[in-house]
Amino acid sequence: MARPALDRVRLAPAVQGYHRRGFPARLIASRLGISERSTRGMLKDLGLTSPRPAVTHTLEMRHG
């Protein structure tokens, strides 16, 4: 049996409401019965996450 598609239109108000009340993504996911990854994706798509700073790695050359 195929897995049903995530109904983002139906779930968006609930995700926004829980987020507004300070619920973490993991708890929102468990309450709505969806994956944490889907929840985080919805929060990002709804513009409810803050942008993460770019990670820059510098290589240090050590001469001994």
50 or 59, greater pLDDT: 50
Residue 2: the pLDDT is 43
pTM, two decimals, is: 0.70
Q: What is the CA radius of gyration of the chain?
A: 18
Query: What is the band of 63 on the pLDDT scale with cuts at 50, 70, 90?
Result: low
Task: Indicate whether 58 pLDDT > 80.
Answer: no
Cβ partners under 8 Å of residue 16, min gap 6: 46, 48
Q: Tens of pLDDT along 5-56?
A: 678 888 999 999 999 999 999 999 999 999 999 999 999 999 998 877 777 7
